Structure 1
Amino acid sequence: MDLLGAFRRRPSPDAAARARVAEIARRLGAFGPEVTLRVNEIVCADPACPGTETVILVMQPGARSRACKVGKPLEEVTEEDVAGALGA
């Protein structure tokens, strides 16, 4: 019996969605392991924003970080949305 496993922190439901979107972005953007991707869901208070949006932050060594936005909550982001945000 794995007693220590009982105390491990389980990933939050959105952690799986973050990993899914990051994997799609890495594949579609053909990003290697040297590129760091961060996926976050934010609520934008600006009336011009769609409200809840997903931001994919692409950090490549030697280049400026790039924020790619999808105007949907994290759980609703599709492969097509990521392709459009990345310009792929």
Structure 2
Amino acid sequence: MLDRFRAPRPDPEDVARVKAWAAGALGLGEDDQITVNEIACTDPACPGLETVILVMRAGEKTRAVKIAGSLVALTRPLVEKAVQEQCS
């Protein structure tokens, strides 16, 4: 059944692009993982859409990097800066 209230899923190519930027900026290895999701934030203080990058390094706590805005609007410098600032 079609869920008319759910936002469409992000394009897998956009997700892969952002994952690659984040992994490169952090120098992640084979045992590390990244997930990228776009969420609609209902909090009035939120920008509407937010991109959340989960960085899961082997043996460390998972870190959530939140970037205001849509996944497709992200740029490489923005992603690199956000993950470096929030994961260091």
Partner of 1:43: 40
What does the per-residue CA deviation read over 1:3-59, in whole Å, with 9 as the maximum and x for residues that have no partner? xxxxxxxxx761110000000001111111111000000000011111101111001
Q: Distance in 1 between matches of 2:65 and 2:15?
A: 14
**Overall identity of the aligned pairs, in %:** 43
Partner of 1:82: 79
Report if the CA contact (8 A) 1:43-1:53 is conserved: yes
Is structure 2 residue 12 aligned with structure 1 residue 15? yes
Instruction: Give RMSD over aligned pairs.
Output: 1.5
Report if the CA contact (8 A) 1:14-1:74 is conserved: no
Alignment map for 1:53-72 (pairs within 5 Å): 53-72=50-69
Partner of 1:24: 21
Poorly superposed stretches of 4+, deviation over 2 Å: none
Structure 1 unpaired stretches of 5+: 1-11
Partner of 1:5: none
Which letter does structure 2 place at the counterpart of 1:68?
V
Q: Whose radius of gyration is greater, 1 or 2? A: 1
Structure 2 unpaired stretches of 5+: 1-8
TM-score (norm. length: structure 1) = 0.80
Which letter does structure 1 place at the counterpart of 2:60?
A
